[in-house]
Structure 1
Amino acid sequence: MPKPTLCCSRAGGYCDRCDLLVGLPGLHVIGVDRDEGIGAFTVTVESEPEVMGCPRCGVVAHGHGRREVRLVDAPWAGRPVTIIWRKRRFVCPDPGCPTRSFVEQDEDIARPRALLTVRACRWAIAQLRREHASILGLACQLGTTWKTVWTSIKPVLEQAAADPTRFEGVSTLGVDEHVWRHVSTKPIEDGGRGPKELTGIVDLTRDQHGRTRARLLDLVRAAPAPRTRPD
């Protein structure tokens, strides 16, 4: 080629193709690094400078620099990914407003004070449901710890479990007993890891093509076997 083709057309600006590849709406990629030792990627992103109103009083806030927040993202090409989000900081100029300063938030990207991005939580839950992955295995793939993964996806799972619409359209149920052999029988409050015997409830409704959904609806503690006295 007589002239090289660059992905980023102008120095110092944002590249729409890099943004499209990373896929975080509203955020622009400003840097990508790779740890050659473990092959993990670190992607630095930021939003464009724009007018922002105070979330409490609505007065136009003053920009006050940026604050870097590190988030675990879904793996890319089998490699762990860390997002460094350079969040904009603002100061409310209204002396009567109780909100002195705040940082930008976007709950479509990550919840406030989250450790994982929203799509990393969705990826982890999909792996649990479809691939029967363990939390520890997911933590290894994400390049983080068991506690970080579980504390991030637990509220999402609890919210989904409390949603009654998940039972809509279910006409056939399957029930299966399961025993976790690596889990002790001690209760969680005594340092155990929860129930050992569980009953899985699965949606076996067939679609218009006759294919079964095989969707896990719930896991409940199995009823203990009745004790019998010898004659």
Structure 2
Amino acid sequence: MPDATFTCPDLTTFTRVDDLGLEITGQLLEPDRAVLACRVVEPDDWCRRCGCRGVSRDTVTRELAHEPFGWRPTTLLVTVRRYRCAECAHVWRQDTTAAAEPRAKISRAGLRWGLVAIVVQHLSMARVAEGLAVSWNTANDAVLAEGQRLLIDNPSRLDGVRVVGVDEHVWRHTRKGDKYVTVIIDLTPVRDGTGPSRLLAMLDGRSKKAFQDWLAERDQAWRRGIEVVAMDGFFGFKTATTEELPDAVCVMDPFHVVRLAGDALDDCRRRVQQELHGHRGRKGDPLYTARRTLHTGADLVTGRQHERLESLFADERHIQVECTWGIYQRMISAYRHHDRSVGRVEMSSVIDALADGVPTALVELRKLGRTLARRVCDVLAYFDRPRTSNGPTEAVNGRLEHLRGLALGFRNLTHYIARALLEAGGFRPQLHPHL
């Protein structure tokens, strides 16, 4: 088809500029971009000051970056007519707000394309800027502002939230400034089995005040609707929830509870290693060789690992490690039990055993017992509320790690928060009904 032309749909419809109130009058294909000459469809020749009809004075052109086609950057060269009122001498130009914001360099269709590329296709901002043929700062400011207006500031975004997860997140791995932020996750779809978790908010810093202030900013009806808050062992999140959401149930999720026991096991192993050998673990040391096997669930241990554990615990000098390992395995078994009521009884017995009668030498277990005694209600609450844990929160943290790697790191926390909300805020259906 060497002489193909646009008939139905025509070039205006094909490039979707009709939604912008424009009509294409010509095109120019260059090696690095496509230029579409456009005019404004509506004449807009009535004076905004006195209401009289104006006369055409001259024209000006406005250049807008448009969504690319075939990854060829597309530029709209819009001819804008200017009018002059014969009565009051007022001069004005045709309204182009349907095509773009005043003084904007990117069309509304270009902004939507950039937003879909960021949220749905997970492209970097540099790639979006390349597709629009604008600078990185121009693309970043415009696309994030559009995302803030269209998605993040949506007043209904927090509707229907019943289960909340809160956790810390490391947003940068440098020594300069605070590296922690607080992430707040909607776990309601996970509990109800209707979808994945989504990011509700990201707060500067990791403290009770940051979480409490965010809760205080929500209206009373929304706070009364929160039923469960899943969290880690940080007591600041617990006190903030108790003060601002008195009717909500705090749940300390299994991942962090087992992690506390795992840390106690590691600390005990290192202490015994130092007491017996006077140095940290080295290749060939039994305690060092079994460091990973000790963290494997008893029901998943292979034959070789079982032999390694038997050899390790045959030495009476490792009795403290064996005791700590036993508590660790009992906690895992309680969480993995198919009957939650039985698992709850098992976990309760573990906490009771750690609260009383632990030998003084087992300093790690004594410390673990004190921690669990303070949060016993939160730990046991998990067994009464299925599918309520901070596991999906860790999944969102993983997506944010991917985002930071895609952007090769962030230096501006404001940009990071906006990008994180767009990346993990669950906005796909609103952006494109077919994606």
**Partner of residue 189, structure 1:** none
AA partner of residue 114 (structure 1): A
1:116 Cα offset (Å): 0.8
AA partner of residue 30 (structure 1): T
1:148/1:5 Cα in 2 relative to 1: closer, same or farther (>3 Å)? closer
AA partner of residue 168 (structure 1): D
1:19 aligned onto 2:12: yes
**Partner of residue 28, structure 2:** 33
AA partner of residue 6 (structure 2): C
**Partner of residue 7, structure 1:** 6
In 2, are the aligned partners of 1:35 and 1:41 still within 8 Å (CA)? yes
TM-score (norm 1): 0.71
More helix by share: 2
1:46/1:175 Cα in 2 relative to 1: closer, same or farther (>3 Å)? farther
Q: Which of these residues, 148, 160, 166, is aligned with residue 169 of structure 1?
A: 160
Structure with bigger gyration radius: 2
Q: Which has the higher contact order (CA 8 A, sep 6+)?
A: 2
Question: Within 1, Cα distance between the matches of 2:167 and 2:122?
Answer: 15
1:221 Cα offset (Å): 1.9
1:117 aligned onto 2:128: no
The aligned length equals 204
1:71 aligned onto 2:64: yes
Q: Which of these residues, 187, 202, 206, is aligned with residue 219 of structure 1?
A: 202
Question: Within 1, Cα distance between the matches of 2:75 and 2:167?
Answer: 38
Identity of aligned residues (%): 25
Question: Within 2, Cα distance between the matches of 1:176 and 1:34?
Answer: 51
Could you give the per-residue CA deviations for residues 177-225 of structure 1, whole angstroms, max 9, x where no partner exists? 5444488846xxxxxxxx7544444445549x95425554433223269
Select between 45-54 and 71-80 the one with higher mean Cα deviation: 45-54
Question: Within 1, Cα distance between the matches of 2:156 and 2:116?
Answer: 19
- Within a 5 Å distance, the mapping from 1:52-201 to structure 2 comes to 52-95=45-88, 100-159=90-149, 160-175=151-166, 177-181=168-172, 185=176, 196-201=179-184
Question: Within 2, Cα distance between the matches of 1:184 and 1:81?
Answer: 42
AA partner of residue 63 (structure 2): R
1:142 Cα offset (Å): 1.6
Select between 62-71 and 45-54 the one with higher mean Cα deviation: 45-54
Question: Within 1, Cα distance between the matches of 2:98 and 2:42?
Answer: 19
AA partner of residue 63 (structure 1): S
SS in structure 2 of the partner of residue 31 of structure 1: strand
Could you give the per-residue CA deviations for residues 14-49 of structure 1, whole angstroms, max 9, x where no partner exists? x8611110112231111222222x3x2111111247
In 2, are the aligned partners of 1:204 and 1:212 still within 8 Å (CA)? no
SS in structure 2 of the partner of residue 166 of structure 1: coil
Question: Within 1, Cα distance between the matches of 2:95 and 2:55?
Answer: 16
Question: Within 1, Cα distance between the matches of 2:174 and 2:93?
Answer: 42
Select between 66-75 and 153-162 the one with higher mean Cα deviation: 153-162
In 2, are the aligned partners of 1:92 and 1:101 still within 8 Å (CA)? yes
Question: Within 2, Cα distance between the matches of 1:41 and 1:62?
Answer: 33
Could you give the per-residue CA deviations for residues 73-108 of structure 1, whole angstroms, max 9, x where no partner exists? 12212221111111121112232x7xx212212323
Question: Within 2, Cα distance between the matches of 1:33 and 1:184?
Answer: 51
Question: Within 2, Cα distance between the matches of 1:133 and 1:178?
Answer: 22
AA partner of residue 152 (structure 1): A
Question: Within 1, Cα distance between the matches of 2:81 and 2:175?
Answer: 47
Q: Which of these residues, 43, 60, 73, is aligned with residue 50 of structure 1?
A: 43
Question: Within 1, Cα distance between the matches of 2:165 and 2:119?
Answer: 16
1:113 Cα offset (Å): 0.9
1:59 Cα offset (Å): 1.8
TM-score (norm 2): 0.40
Select between 64-73 and 121-130 the one with higher mean Cα deviation: 121-130
Gaps of 5+ in 2: 209-233, 235-435
AA partner of residue 83 (structure 1): L
1:170/1:24 Cα in 2 relative to 1: closer, same or farther (>3 Å)? farther
In 1, are the aligned partners of 2:168 and 2:206 still within 8 Å (CA)? no
AA partner of residue 101 (structure 1): V
In 2, are the aligned partners of 1:73 and 1:80 still within 8 Å (CA)? yes
Gaps of 5+ in 1: 9-14, 187-194, 227-231
AA partner of residue 165 (structure 1): S
Select between 163-172 and 77-86 the one with higher mean Cα deviation: 163-172
